[in-house]
Amino acid sequence: MARLHGRFACKGQSMAWRSIADLISAEGEVALLGVPMEAGSVTPGRCDLAPDTIRRTLKRFSTYDVERGTELSLALADLGDVPIRGVMPAQGFGPIRDAAAAAGAGHALTLLLGGNNAVTRPAAHGLGVPLERVGLITLDAHFDLRETDQGLLNGNPIRALLEDGLPGRNICQIGLAPFANTAKMHADAVQAGIGVYTITQCLERGILAVLDDALARLAHAEAVMIDFDIDVIDRGQCPGAPGARPGGMPARMFFEAARRLGREPRVRLVDLTEFDPSLDVGDITALTAARWVCEILAGYAGRP
């Protein structure tokens, strides 16, 4: 059997073809948890199909990274899906929070496969630390600061978390798109102390510089969660995201962010949201979502 260095196999070792799906086992230090929530979406769709679609697509990715000459060897525990299909966000809060908490108690990192963006709020509550010690980074075209007076939706998890007591200074929002938000949302974010980074700032400064700034702002946070809303990606590269806009983040930059944040020791939970397989074309978005899993795992494998 090949000798391994940490969570990577040695460069140049000969191994049979293995897919990322082959890393899935009954136990592992990293957990995969499906959260197929669709109810409460501003735009109706089938985000509930995403977890199973991503799992199937993982079979199409090998464990070998040709650019770094490394082979992923960590074990990935698939915890199945939280049973919340057809359940509104308010009723799904407890099951999602509890499932995320259970996953986090037994694993160093949890990958939560949404589902719409309403899953982000209960997942943050499942980190197991008080909200004042939670840090949240979103990669999203939108502020998700719609008012909550009409109920909990996929368009207001950040507003709901602020109302729950998550301090605005504990939040950084990255990739915000022009003509996809309102002036009030922007003003509310600034007033709350949220770190705001537009897509142009990401493109001009580079995503790693933006992430370094965001992580420095959250230096006081004990546990960090990342919300990867896939609609931050440019619409032409992500047809299966109903909220994606032209001029969004290149998929390559999205992957770069995933690897960097997967490597951050304080990151305990990441989610991928707003992928609707019913809108996908040629499996473009499915392959993007599955590659995101690969990049998160590669980042985690490189943790010190």
pLDDT above 90: residue 262: yes
How long is the chain? 304
The mean pLDDT of the chain is 94
Sheet-wide strand order for 64-65: 4-5, 8-9, 70-72, 64-65
Would 118 be classed as within a structural domain? yes
Look up tokens 């974010």; give the residue. Answer: 189
Please tell me which residue, 42 or 284, carries the higher pLDDT value: 284
Indicate if the alpha-carbon torsion angle 261, 263, 269, 270 is positive or negative.
positive
Residue 122, phi then psi, degrees to nearest 5: -65, -30
Where b means 16+ CB within 10 Å and e means fewer, 119-140 reads bbbbbbbbbbeebeebbbbbbb
Domain count, the chain: 1
> Per residue in 228-251, pLDDT tens?
999 999 999 999 999 999 999 999
Quote the pLDDT of residue 7.
Answer: 66
Which residues lie closer than 8 Å to 234 by C-beta, 6 or more apart?
244, 245, 246, 247, 248, 249, 250, 251
Residue pair 275/249 in contact by the 8 Å Cβ criterion: no
Quote the pLDDT of residue 8.
Answer: 57
Q: Is the pTM of this model over 0.85?
A: yes
Would 241 be classed as within a structural domain? yes
Would 281 be classed as within a structural domain? yes
Would 294 be classed as within a structural domain? yes
Would 59 be classed as within a structural domain? yes
pLDDT above 70: residue 9: no
Would 13 be classed as within a structural domain? no
Domain limits for position 258: 19-301
Taking the C-alpha atoms of residue 169 and residue 195, their distance in angstroms, rounded to an integer, is 7
Would 36 be classed as within a structural domain? yes
Quote the pLDDT of residue 172.
Answer: 98
Quote the pLDDT of residue 26.
Answer: 85
Would 11 be classed as within a structural domain? no
Taking the C-alpha atoms of residue 194 and residue 213, their distance in angstroms, rounded to an integer, is 13
Average pLDDT over residues 7-33: 79
The CATH number that applies at residue 189 is 3.40.800.10
**Tokens of residue 50, six digits:** 């995403």
Q: Is 19 exposed, middle or buried (0-12, 13-18, 19+ CB in 10 A)?
A: middle
